[in-house]
Amino acid sequence: MDSPADQVRTSRLAFAWGGALLFVLALSYFLYAYAFTFGETQQPSPAATPIVWDLGLFTVFAFHHSVFARERVRKEVARIVPPSLERSFYVWVASALFIAVCALWQPVYGLAWQVPPPLGWLLYGALMAGLWLSVRSAGVIDIWELAGVRQASTPNPQPLRLPNFQDFQVATPDNFGSRPTEPGGNWEFKTKGPYGLVRHPIYLGWFLMVFGVPIMTNTRLVFALVSCGYLLLAIPLEERSLRRASDGKYDEYIRAVRWKLIPGLY
């Protein structure tokens, strides 16, 4: 018979793995919705109403990221779940919200562009490149840590730490991956693989995925513009927080990796 400590550890692992599976489900559902539901041609209808709804819907999802980055909220979460499950709790909530966004997204009538083969195949190539770049970048950071599984498997994990400022903050994959490696606050910013090319390769991968389609319905276009607009807003705010909190380490990373998102441009 398992001891109480073993039972607690098993329960924590089950919770963490459940969050990881929900995360995979959320991404899979997004890929399905973006490929099929968002790609359907819609009947003519007033464009303003669904766009306003969609913008508000994604704002709720984005607001959750900002809220979870605040120290006050993190302290409240710590009263509900142990440190080993903090990241997993975030993954559960974020994944559920992302599924809701995709399910409740309102269609927008019209077609932005349609690129026939063989040029259209280049856009599919960009989509696949974006998918690979996102997965590869997450692997460099440690995908199991991003999913919260590694923390639940560690007896005394160090919780992921984020800068604590009163301005807008985001809890994003890149933000969670760039953290102190020791309790004393020794920060490490990886420069291998995609992180040696741009400072936010996961975001670049997202841009390639949502715009890399030869048939861009207005439903897809609104989703792409809103989600990428949020990322463009998040990047300078996130970097400002990291520069303040990392005691110059992020400035060194900026000097080592010049471009934020697009090599040679931005």
pLDDT for residue 202: 95
Considering only the C-alpha atoms of the chain, give the largest distance between any 2 of them, rounded to a whole number of Å.
64
> pLDDT band for position 14 (50/70/90)?
very high
Tell me the DSSP string of 155-171: SSPPPP-----SS----
Instruction: For 155-202, write each residue's pLDDT tens digit.
Output: 655 544 433 222 233 334 454 344 444 434 567 788 889 999 999 999
CB burial string 175-189: b at 16+ within 10 A, e below = bbbbbbeeeeeebeb
Contact assessment for residue 198 and residue 260, using Cβ atoms and an 8 Å cutoff: yes
- Classify residue 96 by burial, with Cβ atoms within 10 Å: 0-12, 13-18, 19+: middle
Instruction: For 45-76, write each residue's pLDDT tens digit.
Output: 676 889 999 999 999 999 887 788 777 787 88
Q: pTM of the entire structure? A: 0.85
Domain regions of the chain by residue span: 4-256
> Is residue 246 predicted with pLDDT exceeding 80?
yes
Q: What percent of the chain has pLDDT over 70?
A: 86
Distances (CA, A) of 145 to 67, 74, 151, 226: 20, 17, 7, 28
What are the CB-based long-range contacts (under 8 Å, 24+) for 70-79? Answer: 70/164, 70/169, 71/164, 74/162, 78/159
What does the block give as tokens for 197?
A: 């090319």
pLDDT for residue 2: 65
Average pLDDT, the chain: 85
Report helix, strand or coil for 114: strand
Write the CB contacts of 226 (distance below 8 Å, at least 6 apart in sequence).
54, 55, 58
